[in-house]
Amino acid sequence: MAALEAARQGVLVTLFDTNMIVGRKLLVTGNGRCNISNVNAAAGTYTCADRTFLETAFSLFGHEETVTCLRELGILTYSTPDGWCYPLSNSAATVADALTAMLDLAGVDVRLKTKVVDIRPTGGKFTLTVGGGSRTQSVDRVIVASGGKAYPALGSRGSLFPVLARLGHAITPVRPALAPIIADVKHLYKLQGVRLDVGLKLFESGRVLGETVGNMMFTQFGFSGPAPMNLSHLVSARPGATLILSIDLLPHHRAELIGLTTRMRSLPVPVRVILGSVLPPKIAPVVIPLAKLPAEVCLADLSQKDLDRLFHLLTHLKAKVKDTRGFKFAQVSTGGVSVSDVDPSTMESRIVPGLHFAGEVLDVVGPCGGYNLQFAWTTGALAGAAAAG
């Protein structure tokens, strides 16, 4: 996006990419469908040290501007009822192909399998050291869109952060975000593979660090899916801390289950059957014993105290959190270049004139659902237009 916006201004653009193809990381987004944006992308939905930074950026190039720009590039999109935006093709490959074709049409000089290892300001310009350090190239402006450390196999390893720090930029520690959570789930091992919508709260010493509602899957190591991944940056920021994840299995259907229970309160109906009205069948055989009740207990045999204990467990299922699954399994990373060092309207460094930033290299992270790609489009467009101006 940065290269295309710059080329649109009529300047000569060289794009360096360590991968064999452009958009390699884009290919894995949205499980291959490319969750390209989100209708609800706004400053308040991101974790960022300065909300006004995001407010300014999105006011200049937000979701609507992105969709319009992509349409001009031949990428048509649609949005789901919850705001998640995808290409009509439901294929990340077609998006990468379209962008690659547009780079060619725009005359961008794409250098694949080429790594930039150093950036040095020299007399109002920049000298880039590429490859093994034996080659240099002089350029007028630089846009750093090298990502963080997530998915290192796809090229993002954070190798430029020491270079940026040497240039005077404050680098917030880079940690995994949008990663599966590792937890003590021995008491929940029979739920492996169960996927459902849940409400989650992450606690440290009784204090809520964060909460979210969304889809989650129970796994052998802990929890995966959008809901737990949206809280993972809070986990990675506290290595060694005692963290507890509280799981509400009834974020949407608690009222219906209470209503059904009330109507059938005096009937000898198995509790597992009642729970099966709103929950996957594997839930009841695990939760009922955890509530210290017989596996085949009937509703009519429960005391009110028993019923209250069961409902409390259904809405406050606990697990001790150990860690995240790390950068290898993280969709994005948090940390990086502090936004306080960057002009939000141009993405230009306040420290090194002519140096711009885009995407995950900045200390901003959004939830699952296209938010991080939207931030990439926004910052890429602003950086590209400003660097070429």
Count up the domains in the chain and report the number.
2
**What is the predicted pLDDT for the residue at 121?**
97
DSSP codes of every residue in 169-206 = --EEEEEEES-PEEEE-GGGGGGTT-EEEEEEEEEETT
**Beta bridge partner(s), residue 86:** 78
Answer yes or no: are the C-beta atoms of 384 and 5 closer than 8 Å. Answer: yes
φ, ψ at 368 (rounded to 5°): -65, 150
Which residues, at least 6 apart from 148, have a Cβ–Cβ distance to it below 8 Å?
156, 158, 174, 332, 333, 334, 335, 336, 360, 361
380 with 336, same domain? yes
Distance CA 351, CA 171 (A): 13
125 with 218, same domain? no
Which residues, at least 6 apart from 262, have a Cβ–Cβ distance to it below 8 Å?
none
Alpha helices in 198-349 (DSSP H): 226-236, 254-263, 271-275, 283-290, 304-315
Last residue of a domain, one of 325, 348, 373: 325
280 with 355, same domain? no
155 with 17, same domain? yes
Per-residue pLDDT of the chain (389 residues; tens, 9 = 90+): 999 999 999 999 999 999 999 999 999 999 899 999 999 999 999 999 999 999 999 999 999 999 999 999 999 999 999 999 999 999 999 999 999 999 999 999 999 999 999 999 999 999 999 987 779 999 999 999 999 999 998 888 899 999 999 999 999 999 999 999 999 999 999 999 999 999 999 999 999 999 999 999 999 999 999 999 999 999 999 999 999 999 999 999 999 999 999 999 999 999 999 999 999 999 999 999 999 999 999 999 999 999 999 999 999 999 999 999 999 999 999 999 999 999 999 999 999 999 999 999 999 999 999 999 999 999 999 999 999 99
Q: Which domain holds residue 312?
A: 180-325
267 with 252, same domain? yes
Last residue of a domain, one of 325, 342, 357: 325
Last residue of a domain, one of 278, 300, 325: 325
Q: What is the b/e burial string over 290-322, where b = at least 16 CB atoms within 10 angstroms of the residue's CB?
A: ebebeeebbbeebeeebbebbbebbbebebebe
pTM over 0.85, yes/no: yes
25 with 154, same domain? yes
165 with 217, same domain? no
9 with 145, same domain? yes
Which residues, at least 6 apart from 20, have a Cβ–Cβ distance to it below 8 Å?
112, 113
Q: Give the three-state DSSP class for 128.
A: strand
Which residues, at least 6 apart from 104, have a Cβ–Cβ distance to it below 8 Å?
110
Distance CA 231, CA 235 (A): 7
Give how far the C-alpha of residue 320 lies from the chain's centroid of Cα atoms, to the nearest Å.
23
Q: Are strands 355-357 and 142-144 parallel, antiparallel or unpaired?
A: parallel
Q: CATH no. for residue 142?
A: 3.50.50.60
Answer yes or no: are the C-beta atoms of 335 and 174 closer than 8 Å. Answer: yes
What are the CA-CA distances from residue 357 to residues 190, 360, 364 (Å)? 46, 9, 12
379 with 277, same domain? no
φ, ψ at 97 (rounded to 5°): -65, -45
Q: Are strands 116-122 and 77-79 parallel, antiparallel or unpaired?
A: unpaired
27 with 150, same domain? yes
41 with 172, same domain? yes
Distance CA 239, CA 176 (A): 11
Q: Are strands 171-177 and 142-144 parallel, antiparallel or unpaired?
A: unpaired
φ, ψ at 193 (rounded to 5°): 95, -15
287 with 270, same domain? yes
Q: Are strands 109-112 and 125-130 parallel, antiparallel or unpaired?
A: unpaired
